Structure 1
Amino acid sequence: MEKLNLQKTAFVMIDLQKGIALRQGLAPYSSQEVLEKNEQIAQKLANTDATIVCVHVKNYGPEALHPQTDNRPIQSEHVPEDFSDFILPLATDPQIKNVIHVKKHNWGAFFGTDLDVQLRRRGIDTILLSGIATTIGVDTTAREAYQLGYQVITIEDAMTDFNGQLHQDIVEHIFKRLGKVWTSDQVIASLN
């Protein structure tokens, strides 16, 4: 198994927050399965030379996009206060020193945020990518990272979607063209 250079690696978790990750009907993995995989990897990386990135989305309220689309927009009048709160405990653990937070207002974690600046200043060139949803935040972030010249490793069983078939299609036909697709076990093996 290829070993990762932790000084040059960031683990970027997309939208593992209360308003998204606790939804029912995710596929091919449940939110609980995805959260457990992300927690395992994050704990292995806690207080190492790697950078752990918790990406939160807030795209409702005055900063919401209002595109004219063929699909009915998602209604957001009754968004709970804790919608954007990251679920994994390490996100707010003061003992873990290598965690950063990025707030986004779009699908991808790079456009309109300081993520690229934060990663480049830390010398990051490789991104381990996970989260919810595969076909929205994870896919958009993977494409942005690829276009910015990062080495992208998507973690297939540490992400899920609202449509299991679309998850599989993106993994097989897009992510394998943007970089590597690993399982969480392969990521953990690369850290040992």
Structure 2
Amino acid sequence: PADWAEFDPRLNVQENDYIVTKRQWGAFFGTDLDLQLRRRGIDTIVLCGIATNIGVESTAREAFQYGYNQIFITDAMATFTKEEHEATLSYIFPKIGKLRTTQQFLTES
């Protein structure tokens, strides 16, 4: 949708699902995401999205500082150029989490 506020029906979002509304590049800044994850005993997050080197990377850096384990689904994220995408995958994410393709993640999990 034009405003990016509706979830794809294939996600099967339920009424009791907790939704975090990002207002900045990172999902932790200005939200209660950390609190909600800790209340639920979650210590590992799986990241994908748009844009690899902006929103995903900002959230990943914040998550690292909060001490979360992270798995990055490399083929489920994209950005403006292949070079920007590859730079984050090559230089940032390996230092703060595990890189997996969608298939690797589904097979290993």
Runs of 4+ in structure 1 deviating by more than 3 angstroms, as ranges, are 90-94
Q: Give aligned pairs, total.
A: 109
Relative contact order higher in (CA < 8 Å, ≥ 6 apart):
1
Partner residue, 1:178: 96
- Kindly name which structure, 1 or 2, has the bigger radius of gyration based on alpha carbons: 1
Is the alpha carbon distance of 1:87 and 1:124 closer, same or farther for their aligned partners in structure 2, counting shifts above 3 Å? same
Using structure 2 for the length normalisation, give the TM-score: 0.90
Using structure 1 for the length normalisation, give the TM-score: 0.53
Greater fraction helix = 2
CA RMSD in angstroms comes to: 1.8
- Offset from partner CA, 1:144-192 (integer Å, 9 cap, x none): 000000001111001000111110010011000111111101110123x
1:105 and 2:23 correspond: yes
1:164 and 2:82 correspond: yes
Return the offset for 1:142. Answer: 0.4
Residue 76 of structure 2 aligns to a residue whose secondary structure is strand
- Offset from partner CA, 1:104-132 (integer Å, 9 cap, x none): 11100001001101100000000110000
5+ residue gaps in structure 1? 1-17, 19-81
Partner residue, 2:8: 88
1:108 partner letter: G
5+ residue gaps in structure 2? none
Is the alpha carbon distance of 1:93 and 1:153 closer, same or farther for their aligned partners in structure 2, counting shifts above 3 Å? closer
Partner residue, 1:147: 65
